[in-house]
C-alpha cells in the first residue's frame, strides 16, 4: 500500500470513520476521501456508482452504518435492515463494477448466533438463530459479509470483513434513547453525579436488565489500528473477528464506570428490561495469528472516553475524574 493510494472512507464522520481517518493520517496516508450524507447518499445506488466511477479509489473502507442500542433496534427494525443493506450493497457493488481491488467491510459481532459456543469463532456464522433484539441489523451485516466472500470467490478480489466486538471511545453516541451500553452508562452516571452535587443527595442510577450478561469491549482506536493492518497486509481469510479477548459482566462494567465517573449513589437494576445475549466473547485467534492484537485496556479506554465526553460538555469541563 502506497502512502499516496486513493482511500475512500464511507462514514468518515462517525465514531469509527473518524478514528480510521485519524489513524491513517497519523500513518502518513495523504490521499483520503470522505463524503457526508448530504454530499453523497449511500442509499442511492446510481449516485454511489457514479462517485466511485469518478474517484477511482484504490481502497474502500466501509464504516457507514445505521447503528443503535437495544431500544433503537427494537423500535426501528425496518430502517436498521433496509438502510444498512442499501448502503453496504451499493458500495460493494460499485467497488466490483469499477474494479476496486481492496475493500474492507466493517460489521459487528452480533452477526453470530445468540447461543454460539464461547469464544465465538468465525466459522460459527449461520449455525444458529440470532439475538432477537438486533437481528435485523445482524441480517444486513451478514449479507455484507457474504457479498464480500462471493466477490472474492468469483472474481479474485481482496475484500475482507472485520467484525468488531462492542465498540466505545471518542465520538461515541451518548444519547440515552439510541446509545450502546457503555456510552449510556457513562451518561447516566455522569448525570446522576451532577444532580447529586446540586441537590446534596446521592442520586441512584437505574440500569436495564440484571447485570449478569458478559460482554467484551474494544476501544475504537484499536479497531482503527486493525483496519490499517488489514489494509496494509494480504490476509488469507475473508472474515476476521476484532476484539480484546477479555470480557466482564455488565454489573462489573457498571461498577468500573461508576468508580471512574465518581458517582456515589446506588445502582438499581430493572430486571423487567431485556438482557440481550447472555455472553458474547469473540475468538481473536485468527487475526492474532496474522500479527495483530489490541493494546488499550478497558479501564484506560473508559477514562479517556470520559475525558473526551467532558470536553464536549461545555459546563462540565472542570469536573474531576476519579482516580
Annotated binding site for substrate: 188, 208, 215, 275
Q: Which residue numbers belong to the known binding site for NADP(+)?
A: 11-17, 106-109, 141, 164-167, 180
Q: How far is CA 302 from the centre of its chain?
A: 15
Q: What are the residues whose beta carbons fall under 8 Å from the beta carbon of 224, sequence distance 6 or more?
A: 16, 19, 20, 22, 23
Task: Pick the closest to residue 36 from 66, 64, 5 (CA basis).
Answer: 64
107/137 Cα distance (integer angstroms) = 9
Phi–psi pair at 30, nearest 5 degrees: -110, -5
Q: Which residue numbers belong to the known binding site?
A: 11-17, 106-109, 141, 164-167, 180, 188, 208, 215, 275
Cα–Cα distances in Å, from 94 out to 100, 122, 142, 256? 8, 26, 19, 44
Q: What are the residues whose beta carbons fall under 8 Å from the beta carbon of 33, sequence distance 6 or more?
A: 6, 7, 8, 9, 55, 57
Contact 253, 209 (CB under 8 A): no
118/109 Cα distance (integer angstroms) = 12
Residues taking part in catalysis: 137
Amino acid at each position: 500500500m502506497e502512502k499516496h493510494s486513493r482511500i475512500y472512507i464511507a462514514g468518515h464522520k462517525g465514531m469509527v470513520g473518524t478514528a480510521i481517518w485519524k489513524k491513517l493520517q497519523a500513518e502518513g496516508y495523504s490521499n483520503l476521501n470522505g463524503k457526508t450524507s448530504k454530499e453523497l447518499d449511500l442509499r442511492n445506488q446510481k449516485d454511489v456508482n457514479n462517485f466511485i466511477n469518478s474517484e477511482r479509489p484504490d481502497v474502500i473502507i466501509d464504516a457507514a452504518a445505521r447503528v443503535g442500542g437495544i431500544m433503537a433496534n427494537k423500535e426501528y427494525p425496518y430502517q436498521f435492515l433496509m438502510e444498512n443493506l442499501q448502503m453496504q450493497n451499493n458500495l460493494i457493488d460499485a467497488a466490483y463494477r469499477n474494479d476496486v481491488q481492496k475493500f474492507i467491510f466493517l460489521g459487528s459481532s452480533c452477526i453470530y448466533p445468540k447461543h454460539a459456543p464461547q469464544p465465538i469463532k468465525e466459522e460459527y456464522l449461520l449455525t444458529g438463530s440470532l439475538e432477537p433484539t438486533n437481528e435485523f441489523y445482524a441480517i444486513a451485516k451478514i449479507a455484507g459479509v457474504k457479498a464480500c466472500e462471493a466477490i472474492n470467490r468469483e472474481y479474485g478480489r481482496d475484500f475482507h470483513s472485520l467484525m468488531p466486538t462492542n465498540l466505545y471511545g471518542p465520538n461515541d453516541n451518548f444519547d440515552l434513547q439510541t446509545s450502546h451500553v457503555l456510552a449510556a452508562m457513562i451518561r447516566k452516571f455522569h448525570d446522576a453525579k451532577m444532580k447529586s452535587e446540586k441537590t446534596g443527595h446521592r442520586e441512584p442510577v437505574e440500569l436495564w436488565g440484571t447485570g449478569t450478561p458478559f460482554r467484551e469491549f474494544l476501544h475504537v482506536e484499536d479497531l482503527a489500528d486493525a483496519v490499517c493492518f488489514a489494509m496494509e497486509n494480504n490476509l488469507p481469510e475473508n472474515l476476521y473477528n476484532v476484539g480484546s479477548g477479555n470480557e466482564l459482566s455488565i454489573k462489573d462494567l457498571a461498577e468500573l464506570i461508576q468508580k471512574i465517573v465518581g458517582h456515589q449513589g446506588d445502582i438499581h437494576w430493572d430486571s423487567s428490561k431485556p438482557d440481550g445475549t447472555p455472553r458474547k466473547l469473540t475468538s481473536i485467534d485468527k487475526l492474532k495469528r496474522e500479527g495483530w492484537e489490541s493494546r488499550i485496556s478497558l479501564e484506560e479506554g473508559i477514562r479517556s472516553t470520559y475525558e473526551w465526553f467532558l470536553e464536549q460538555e461545555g459546563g462540565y469541563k472542570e469536573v474531576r475524574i476519579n482516580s
